[in-house]
Amino acid sequence: MLAPGIGRPKLEGQCALSQIIPVAPFDCVVFGGTGDLATRKLLPALWHRDADGQIPAEARIVAVSRKNFDDAAYRKFVEENLRPQLTADEKPLWARFLARLRHVTLDAEGEQGWPALADALKGGDAYVRVVYLATSPKFFGPIARRLVKQGLVTPLTRLVVEKPIGSDLASARRINDEIGAVIEESAIYRIDHYLGKETVQNLIALRFANSMFEPLWSSQWIDHVQITVAETVGLESRADYYDGSGALRDMVQNHLVQLLCLVAMEPPRAFAADAVRDEKLKVLRALSPVAPGSVVRGQYVAGAIAGTAVRSYADDLGKGRTSRTETFVAIKTEIANWRWAGVPFYLRTGKRLASKNSEIVIAFKPVPHSLFGEGVKLEANRLVVRLQPDEGITLRLMTKEPGPGGMRLRAAPLDLSFAEEFSVRFPEAYERLLMDVVRGNQTLFMRRDEVEAAWSWIDPLVREWERGSEAPKSYVAGSWGPAAATALIERDGRTWHEELA
Ligand code: BG6
């Protein structure tokens, strides 16, 4: 078997940024180890870190679930799920990864399995122990209490909890109280995988490692901001969860709001956990309440995406169910502080939209006076931060068309495609975040007060909807959402970015 530190071959021309910094030995316990999140995101993320040679020899992954698997059966289960994705270069590294896996059958609310879990864990107080709760939030408190009761929480134990942390402020507080009663805040890692996306971190670099943007980063020069997270997927296998949640709680309360915070926050003192989180919190607390006319809810009806017919939301739910859950939401909000007063932030997310496309658009103000006469249309500059696909940053500038014949102007992109600039494999968000947990770095994780402040902003919107009888507006799958979302921005004399492109 291969030694640790040996990883897949580097790509030609790979740059120094792709250097791998090994982490300390650790045990990673995954509750929900046979679930969707573990098999789709966590295990592939750990596998890639291992394949890159970042994970030390001693590190082990202990999956916990109710399934009656022994280690061999679990390894077979993982093999079936992951092996088809491997490239030829990676296959020699696979046996090393499989050998790290263990499985413990355990009932999170009962007594069974806890001694076996204790046996499976290595090391004493000096050994890093990551406990990932990839379970329903209703188990977060009970599992945390049991871990403590069983003596499994060591000084270097880090508890990772997935969203959703609650479904409103009261339930989020309850969950935070339950976990906080037994585990220190400094050991709790509330994950929002959007913060682990490469371009999201690049947004921080763009703002704070360059001098040219920050002087322009305010209501004086910025006309408005758009944040779009568009998906083509529908319910997948999560109908029950999603129907009880909807786009506002599933995406806006966490991912979109976190992106907004990174765009709008003041420069933190350092790129360090509390410095960054303090600044994000100030933004959250300055968010203006959303006026009833500044939000649009939608639900998809049957349509087609890239030529393939897709069903309506009701048909995806099945069993003749109907629902008022929104699969699309667009919101106009503002940040009531010195820097941003008067600058609208338009947020938009939805399932079954025309394409998978997540981006942040900083729309600058137009020039104050045109030298070029009335016939020449000048497009205001836009800085577009593309999260996915094709990660990169584009600045749209006005340029002169080449050749004689006077000043013919048009907008052209100044384009930084990360894939072209850096020939590296782009790590998945979970890869970066899991290694941050092992290192004990909470910078890209949400603090309790942030999560609760986000719910405080969302709650009145949800209550308003629940009080009313209005159904979400229909939109055809494969479109960009309901017409009312276009109207939301157009009535301000502005346009969604993709309609310009
Ligand atoms: C999850 C949501 O947090 O993020 C899903 O629960 C959504 O509904 C997913 O599909 C989107 O993540 P990504 O990384 O594919 O943009």
Pocket test for ligand 1, best of 250, 328, 360 (most atoms within 8 A of CB): 250
Cα 55 to averaged position of ligand 1 atoms, centre (Å): 26
**233/314 same-domain check:** yes
Residue nearest atom 15 in ligand 1 by C-alpha distance: 231
User: Domain check: are 384 and 481 in the same one?
Assistant: yes
Which of 251, 386, 390 maximizes ligand 1 atoms within 8 Å of its Cβ, making it the mutation to test the pocket? 251
Do 397 and 298 share a structural domain? yes
Atom of ligand 1 nearest to the CA of 197: 14
Mutate to test the pocket of ligand 1, among 231, 300, 348 (most ligand atoms within 8 A of CB): 231
Question: What contacts 409, CB < 8 A, 6 or more positions away?
Answer: 372, 376, 378, 398, 399, 400, 401
Of 42, 31, 98, 38, the C-alpha closest to 65 is 31
Ligand 1 atom closest to Cα of residue 192: 3
Per-residue pLDDT of the chain (501 residues; tens, 9 = 90+): 455 556 666 555 444 445 678 899 999 999 999 999 999 999 999 999 999 999 998 999 999 999 999 999 999 999 998 888 777 777 778 999 999 999 999 988 888 999 999 999 977 888 999 999 999 999 999 999 999 999 999 999 999 999 889 999 999 999 999 999 999 999 999 999 999 998 899 999 999 999 999 999 999 999 999 999 999 999 888 888 899 999 999 999 999 999 999 999 999 999 999 999 999 999 999 999 999 899 999 999 999 999 999 999 999 998 888 899 999 999 999 999 999 999 999 999 999 999 999 999 999 999 999 998 888 889 999 999 999 888 899 999 999 988 887 888 999 999 888 777 777 777 889 999 999 999 999 999 999 999 999 999 999 999 999 898 889 999 999 999 999 999 999 999 999 997 444
The set of residues, in sequence order, having a beta carbon less than 8 Å from that of 282 and lying 6+ positions away, is 265, 266, 337
Structural domains in the chain (count): 2
Asked if 283 and 396 sit in the same domain, the reply is yes
Please report whether residue 211 resides in a domain: yes
Query: Catalytic amino acids?
Result: 255
Could you identify the atom of ligand 1 that is nearest to the CA of residue 231? 10
Q: Which of 42, 193, 245 to mutate to test the pocket of ligand 1 (most atoms within 8 A of CB)?
A: 193
Taking CA atoms only, the protein residue closest to ligand 1 atom 7 is: 251
Report yes or no on 354 lying in a domain: yes
Decide whether any atom of ligand 1 lies within 6 Å of the 231 Cβ.
yes
Model pTM? 0.94
Does 442 reside within a domain?
Answer: no
Q: Is the dihedral of CA 49, 53, 59, 65 positive or negative?
A: positive
Closest ligand 1 atom to residue 388 Cα is 16
Say which residue the tokens 């090994």 belong to. Answer: 22
Domain boundary residue among 144, 162, 180? 162
Q: Identify whether residues 158 and 201 lie together within a single domain.
A: no
> Do both 144 and 203 map to the same domain?
no
Q: β-pairing, 382-388 with 357-364?
A: antiparallel
Question: How remote is the CA of residue 430 from the centroid of ligand 1, in Å?
Answer: 12
CA of 230 to the centre of ligand 1 (A): 10
Question: Are residues 156 and 207 both part of a single domain?
Answer: no
Assess contact for 376 and 351: CB atoms under 8 A. no
Answer yes or no: do 111 and 246 share one domain: no
How much distance in Å is there from the Cα of 150 to the middle of ligand 1? Answer: 34
In a domain, 93, yes or no: yes
The residue whose C-alpha atom lies closest to atom 8 belonging to ligand 1 is: 250
Question: By percentage, how much of the chain surpasses pLDDT 90?
Answer: 76
158 in the same domain as 35? yes
Note whether 59 and 100 are within 8 A (CB).
yes
Q: How close is the Cα of 202 to the center of ligand 1, in Å?
A: 20
Which atom in ligand 1 lies closest to the alpha carbon of residue 242?
Answer: 8
> Closest ligand 1 atom, CA of 356?
16
Residues 37 and 80 in one domain: yes
Token pair 């920050």 in the structure block, residue: 214
Q: Domain containing 467 — which CATH number?
A: 3.30.360.10
Asked whether 334 lines ligand 1 (CB < 6 A), one says no
Domain membership flag for residue 183? no
Residue owning the nearest CA to atom 4 of ligand 1: 251
Indicate the residue among 114, 142, 162 that finishes a domain. Answer: 162
**By residue range, what is the domain housing residue 456?**
195-426+447-500
Structural domain contains residue 11? no
Determine the Cα–Cα distance for residues 44 and 434; give it in Å rounded to an integer: 11
pLDDT in tens, 230-287: 999 998 888 888 999 999 999 999 999 999 999 999 999 999 999 999 999 999 999 9
Q: Is 428 in the pocket of ligand 1 (CB under 6 A)?
A: no
Q: Is 1 a member of any domain?
A: no
215 and 143 in one domain?
A: no
- The CATH number of residue 116's host domain is 3.40.50.720
Residue 296 falls within a domain, yes or no? yes
Per-residue pLDDT reduced to its tens digit, 141-174:
999 999 999 999 999 999 999 988 999 999 999 9
Q: How far is CA 74 from the centre of its chain?
A: 28
Same domain, 254 and 325: yes
What is the CA(123)–ligand 1 centre distance, in A? 35
